[in-house]
Structure 1
Amino acid sequence: MRLKTFFWCILLTLLLPLEALAADGSKGELLANEADSLYSLQQYAEAQRVATQALNAMRSERNAEGEADCLNLLAIINIRLGDFNEAAKYAKQCYVLDEKSGDPDAMSSSLNTLAAIYMSMRQPKEAEKYVLKGIEYSKKADNPQRLAILHGMASEVYHYLKRDERSLQYATMAYEMEQKLGRKDKMAVRQAERASALIALKRHDEARKALDEAIPGLRASGNIHSLGIACNQMGLMLHNEGKDGEAVTYFNEALNIFLAQHDLYNEAMSRQGLYESLRHTDPDKAMEHNDRYMALRDSIYDKDTGELLTKYAVEYGYDQLQAENISLLQMRRIYLIAGVIMLLALLGFGLWRSRRDRLRMQELIRQIENMRIAEVGEVEPQIKEETEQNSQEDVATEDRLFVMRLVQVVNDGLSTGQYGVEAVASEMNMSVQTFRRRLMSVTGESPKAFISAIQMERAAKLLTDNPDMSIARVATLCGYDETNSFGRSFKRAYGVTPSQYRGQ
Structure 2
Amino acid sequence: MKYKSYLIAILWGIQFCFTLPVSAQNTIQQQKDSLRRAIEQSDGTDKLRSYNRLYYLYMSEIADDRKMDTLLTLFGQTEAEAIRQGNVKMQGMVYGNTIISHINRNEYDKIIQKAPGYLDFYILHEQWKLYYQIHMQLITAYNLKGDYKKAAEEAKLMFDRAKARKDKAGMATALYATAITYNVQDRWKEEEDCFRECIRLLWEVSGYDNILTQAYAFLCSSLRAQGQYDKLLQLVPEYEKAIARFEKAAGRTQPEAWGNLYVALMNTYIDTKDYDKAGEYLAKLKGIVNNNISRYELARAKALILQSRGDYRKALAAIDSAAVEVQESEFDLNAVRKIKMEILTRMGRFDEAFTLFDTIIAANDTIKDVEINARFDELRTQYEVEKHIAEKERNLHYFLFTLGICLVLALLLTATFYYNRIIALKNHKLYERIKEQDRLANAVETAKATDTLSPSSEQKSLVMRLQEYLLSGENLSNADMNRDDIISALGTNRNTLTEAVKAVTGKSPMEYTRFLKIEEARRMLDSHPEFTIEAVAFSCGFNIPSTFYRLFRKQYGISPAEYRKMANSSPKK
TM-score range, shorter chain: 0.3 to 0.5
Normalising to structure 2: TM-score of the pair?
A: 0.43
Structure with max Cα Rg: 2
